Structure 1
Amino acid sequence: MTLTSGKLAGLKAISNSQGVVAALALDQRGIVSKAIAREKAVEDVPASVVIEFKEIVTEVLAKHASAILLDPEYGLPAAKLRGTAGLMIAYERSAYYAAPPRLPDLYDVWSVRRLKEAGADCIKILLHYVPDEAPAIHEHKCAWIERIGDECRANDIPFVLELLGYDVAGGDGKDLRYAKGKPQIVIESMREFGKDRYGVDLLKVELPVLMKYVPETSACKGEHAYTLAEAQQYLRDASAATSKPFVYLSAGVSNAEFIETLRFITDSRATYNGVLCGRATWQDGMAIYARQGAKALEQWLSTEGVENIARVNVALKTAEPLHERVAMATPIGS
């Protein structure tokens, strides 16, 4: 994979000195507003509350990350507080709570050009995708990604594609039945959108297994969807599914479970190029902010939040640098 100068500069901007993506994800919208509202025991909270939460998290934690992922709806004020961290901006409207088939949509008043002018080093798109969706749905989503890939090419900025599978039957995607099919969903999605036609420069993906169904892990409570050897092979299969660099997301699990997950990847002899870690770093701060206010959140982030992200950074020492998958004259991080 050979990059243009603009795309190479963008990937360098979001990587650490070792050439690994050690990024903080904070583009969640409905998840944050709903969680804060729930803790406050109110129906909804104003946008200013979500904006302030993101500003505080960014100011405290971004200095410990290689980059931060924010959204244009609530996150642009926070982007000014990120220091030297690279900036990824989400381009899609959130469809996290939408019913299947979770068709994607973009913000009306934003474009790749405008997001780049707002300071983005990379453009991030979330696509809810299942390989065996109905043909019409599959074609709709694939054509949509092709358009965004072309828009990013025209503006010479990296295209980061986040892929999330979902239960087409309407389930929560956490039960044993879904867990058994998840490896195929993740691996085939990586294989499809790693094709050059889509113009994707970095994939953000889920672990191909659900850790709570992997035996001999602390997350497992009894039921198994795979043997330990099968789970490890699925991780290696994911690494081999694409030639594009890719990072893992934290999927809303606890910090302890995410650290165990990263160690499990290493123990499986599987490769990856970093993380975009969100709630595993800062999610406990939402309740503190809702109940005790901004100062209490800042204090929690300065201790527990920093410790959370530090543990992730230590676990990332075994991740592969981007230049292992990207052709460049000077390796990222050198």
Structure 2
Amino acid sequence: MVKLTNNKLEALKRLSDENGIIGALAIDQRGSLKKMIASASSKEIGDEGIIEFKKLVSKELTKYASSILLDPEYGLPAAEVRDENAGLLLAYEKTGYDATVPGRLPDVLDVWSAKRLKEAGADAVKFLLYYDVDEDPAINDIKHAFIERVGSECVAEDIPFFLEIVSYDATIEDVKSVEYAKVKPHKVIDAMKVFSDSRYNVDVLKVEVPVNMNYVEGFAEGEVVYTVEQAKQYFKDQSDATELPYIYLSAGVSAQLFQDTLEFAAQAGAEFNGVLCGRATWKNGVQPFAEKGQAAGNDWLQTEGKDNITSLDAVLKKTAKSWFTKVEA
């Protein structure tokens, strides 16, 4: 059992439904969302456009989510219009990484701290870490120390720490490739083992599924990397790799594939505790918003966006397990 302070426990409850399932909406994208809007629009929308889109998503979709993940750079206005029953996670990391320096090293936002995120209304602090468990130990030691610092900040502020781990291989450029699919289970599962150590003070892991579903037998349209049995075993191994509550990120796949993946995970015996789902819910709303404006974006969110998140909620109720069984005050 994972021990939580009373304050952390109550904060996690605010981020979850009444059954201890985290059905969170994620729209903390910054650079990638700018690119999405810019490529869909014939005119310059600018920062105000990004802020406005986040506000629309928050206002319309948090009615159906247990919480929302936003960034403090563009997302605070969206936090103010979220549903009154939705909890708030705020991102602490700088978006992206410096590609000119080896290792995809992490960094925090310059004028923010765990204390300031809490003061801004956050129920939890989220930090994204790019991690290759097989990279140069000197690089990974920098990352280990970095996460220790963030975790210690969250302990000092008595606020939950959600660590998002995005795996990669320093020697493989394309994470969607067959080559990477073959090593992904090891990369994802072993990274979870590392950061489940109590020295990092992580309260919830936000992680990828352990396989690329596009290469799973029955899901693949081309080459198959994993049989159904192998893929299910990887999901079970992932579940067994940590005692911490863990939730899945959607990694930009379609809404339908993400839902199918959750059902597959449950069939495999994975005891995941919810999702922090971003682009799978709202990405197709960028086009009407960028092309035709706020009203068109709003219409999309009230129809297809609503359908995406309510159908995901229905799947979560059947597949996710309560984190109540994993923690104690």
TM-score (norm 1): 0.95
Equivalent position of 1:306 in the other structure: 306
Amino acid at match of 2:291: R
Please give the secondary structure, in 1, of the residue aligned with 2:139: helix
1:55-76 per-residue CA deviation (whole Å, 9 max, x = no partner) reads 0010000111000000011100
Matches within 5 A, 1:92-241: 92-95=93-96, 98=99, 100-169=102-171, 171-217=173-219, 220-241=220-241
Q: Secondary structure at the match of 2:69?
A: strand
Task: Verify: 1:58 aligned to 2:58, yes or no.
Answer: yes
Query: CA–CA distance in 1 between the matches of 2:6 and 2:268?
Result: 34
Task: Note the alpha carbon deviations across 1:62-99, whole angstroms, 9 max, x for none.
Answer: 11100000001110000001122000000000116846
The corresponding residue for 2:325 is 324
| Amino acid of the structure 2 residue aligned with 1:110 | W
Shift of the alpha carbon at 1:325? 1.1
Residues 131 and 188, structure 1, Cα contact 8 Å, conserved in 2: yes
Find the aligned partners of 1:255 and 1:204 in 2 and give their Cα distance: 18
Give the aligned partner of residue 32 of structure 1.
33
Residues 19-45 of structure 1 show CA distances to partners (whole Å, capped at 9, x for unaligned) of: 100000010111111011011146x64
CA distance in 2, matches of 1:28, 1:283: 11
Q: 2 CA distance for matches of 1:191 and 1:13?
A: 27
Residue 70 of structure 2 contacts residue 91 of structure 2 at CA under 8 Å; is this kept in 1? yes
Deviation per residue, 1:179-217 (Å, 9 max, x gap): 000000000011010110000000000000000000012
Structure 1 residue 16 and structure 2 residue 11: aligned? no
CA distance in structure 2 between the aligned counterparts of 1:286 and 1:26, rounded to whole angstroms:
12
* Stretch moving more, 239-248 or 45-54: 45-54
> Is 111-120 or 221-230 further displaced after alignment?
221-230
Counterpart of 2:163 in 1: which secondary structure? Answer: strand
- Mapped contact 2:51–2:78 kept (Cα < 8 A): yes
* CA offsets 1:203-260 (integer angstroms, 9 cap, x no match): 000000000000012xx11211111111000000000000000000000001111111
Corresponding residue for 2:86? 85
Q: Confirm whether residue 244 of structure 1 aligns to residue 248 of structure 2.
A: no
The one-character-per-residue Cα deviations of 1:89-148 (angstroms, maximum 9, x if unpaired) are 000001168465210011111010000000000000000001011011110000000000
In 2, are the aligned partners of 1:102 and 1:128 still within 8 Å (CA)?
Answer: yes
| Counterpart amino acid of residue 322 in structure 1 | W
Distance apart, 1:169 and its partner CA? 2.7
Report the AA paired with residue 260 of structure 1. D
Aligned-pair CA distance for 1:172: 2.6
Q: Is contact 1:33-1:45 (8 Å) kept?
A: no
Counterpart of 1:178 in structure 2: which amino acid? Y
Q: Deviations over 1:255-306 (max 9, x none)?
A: 1111111111112122100000011100000111110110011111001101
Unaligned runs of 5+ in 1: 329-334
8 Å contact from structure 1 (residues 88, 124) kept in 2? yes
Q: Residue 283 of structure 1: SS of its match in structure 2?
A: helix
CA distance in 1 between partners of 2:276 and 2:113 (Å) = 23
Residue 304 and residue 97 in structure 1: after superposition, are their counterparts in 2 closer, same or farther (change >3 A)? farther
Find the residue that maps to 1:82 and give its secondary structure. coil
- For the residue of structure 1 that corresponds to 2:205, the secondary structure is strand
Aligned length: 325
Describe the shift of the 1:294–1:263 C-alpha distance in structure 2 as closer, same or farther (beyond 3 A): same
* Counterpart in the other structure of 1:271: 271
| Whole-Å separation in 2 of the counterparts to 1:210 and 1:275 | 17
Task: Give the SS at the match of 2:168.
Answer: coil
Give distance in 1, aligned partners of 2:296 and 2:45. 19
Aligned residues: CA RMSD: 1.2
Structure 1 CA distance for aligned equivalents of residues 137 and 270 of structure 2:
32
CA displacement at 1:5 relative to structure 2: 1.4
Helix, strand or coil: the match of 2:125?
A: strand
Identify the range of structure 1 (53-62 vs 315-324) with the bigger mean alpha-carbon deviation: 315-324
Unmatched runs of 5 consecutive residues or more in structure 2: none
Letter in 1 for 2:77: P
* 2:134–2:169 contact (8 Å) kept in structure 1: no
Which TM-score applies when normalising by structure 2? 0.96
Shift, 1:6, TM fit: 1.6
Corresponding residue of 1:289 = 289
* Partner Cα distance (2:137, 2:258) in 1: 35
